[in-house]
Amino acid sequence: MISEKIRSTADLILTMAIQDYSAKMSLSKAEVRNQIIESGAYDALYDPETGLWTQGPDYFTDYFLKMKECKH
């Protein structure tokens, strides 16, 4: 079970990453959110074992992009 601290931190990282990446790529926030969810990065962010929730939004965005590349 994920703790409230981890969930809150992951939520904040996700929100910031979506905002930053959507602005950088001129994509809608909904489109970026869907891309993150489909890449598997979303699940990894909320998994306490990965430690992604301890990193910032830039680190998470890099992780997402690597996951996205692996799918192609």
- The pLDDT, as a whole number, for residue 3 is 94
Tokens of 41: 């990065």
- The pLDDT, as a whole number, for residue 68 is 87
Tokens of 71: 């799918």
What confidence tier does 70 reach under pLDDT thresholds 50, 70, 90? confident
Q: Average pLDDT of 6-23?
A: 97
DSSP H helices, 3-55, are 4-25, 29-39, 41-45
8 Å CB contact between 19 and 29: yes
- The pLDDT, as a whole number, for residue 72 is 63
Positive or negative torsion for Cα 37, 44, 41, 7:
positive
| pLDDT tens digits along 16-67 | 999 999 999 999 999 999 999 999 999 999 999 999 999 999 999 999 999 9
